[in-house]
Amino acid sequence: MFPVLINIFCIGKFLQAARPKIFWTPCAAHCIDLMLEEIGKIPKVKKVVTQGISLVGFIYNHSLVLNLLREKAEMELIRHGVTRFATNFLQLQRLHNLKQKIRTMFTSQEWLDLKVSDEAKGRKATSIVLQVSFLDDIVYALKAMGPLIKVLRLADNEKIPAMGFIYQAMVDARNQIKKNFGDNESKYKPILDIVDRRWSNQLHHPLHAAGHFLNPKHFFNNPEIANDDSLLDGLYECIRRLGTSTENVDDIYADLDKYRAGSGNFKLEEAIRHREDKRTSPGK
């Protein structure tokens, strides 16, 4: 995996060197997936994902057990996400949502009457379900991965371009992870260390900064954006690189002043309606 990524980044740099008027940026969905992959290596997350896969695999490999689950839970455990790690999350989410019904099933007389309940795999499945730590670890994994799954869905959507929404989505994800762990730094820090490293090294890109700044849904609802140096640095880098001439760059800066002030065409009814209408925002 890592040699492939290194080669991709090298190719991207060579491409930009040969074509100085273009930007190359890694796939946002892939970067989010790599964050989820690293979080999946945290011991308690890795353990609970393995247990969840084992439990679901056992149920779906035994028709009588699967029929009993469908009778008790009235819902399937398997849901497929856009990536393997998203699928793991959705599987844990289903287990969490159905925890009481699954526990009831594995302590019912109908389960005990099945021959497989007294076999090694059946006893192992029962042990997993009845472990308090299993449910606790599911909650931990959902708190850590859930906000990033939302960003992954946004980045992977094919209906609306996500470039102008990724930056804010990552800010929201970081804040939500903190909130999920009660703003306890000792609990959320291992997660955010992974997120921040991937974000800083791969995903924090001038295009995302410019997209965020130039997204009226964000700009006109957050006064701090106008003076955010990191966003301005990204925006100005895009203007310098993509501008076709000195006159073109000057025109862009003139329009940028109008955008900031909400004047000119930016004060037209259509423009105001667009920036106030959040219904088309991806991920909503």
Q: Between residues 113 and 159, which one has the greater pLDDT?
A: 113
Tell me the pLDDT band of 95, cut-offs 50, 70 and 90. Answer: very high
- Token duo for residue 30: 């892939």
CA 137, 139, 140, 146 dihedral sign is: positive
| pLDDT at position 217 | 84
Within 8 A by CB and 6+ apart from 178, the residues are: 188, 192
> Which residues touch 45 (CB under 8 Å, ≥6 apart)?
39, 137, 140, 141, 144, 145
**pLDDT confidence of 162, banded at 50, 70, 90?**
confident
pLDDT average, residue stretch 158-185: 92
Residue 2 above 50 pLDDT? no
**For the chain, which residues make up each domain, given as ranges?**
26-204
24 — pLDDT class (breaks 50, 70, 90): confident
CA dihedral 178, 32, 19, 161 (to 10 degrees): -90
Residues in Cβ contact with 127 at an 8 Å cutoff, skipping those fewer than 6 apart: none
Distance CA 94, CA 78 (A): 8
pLDDT band at 130 (very low <50, low <70, confident <90, very high): very high
Residue 105 is predicted with a pLDDT of 94
Q: Quote the pTM value.
A: 0.83
Report residue 115 as tokens: 């021959």
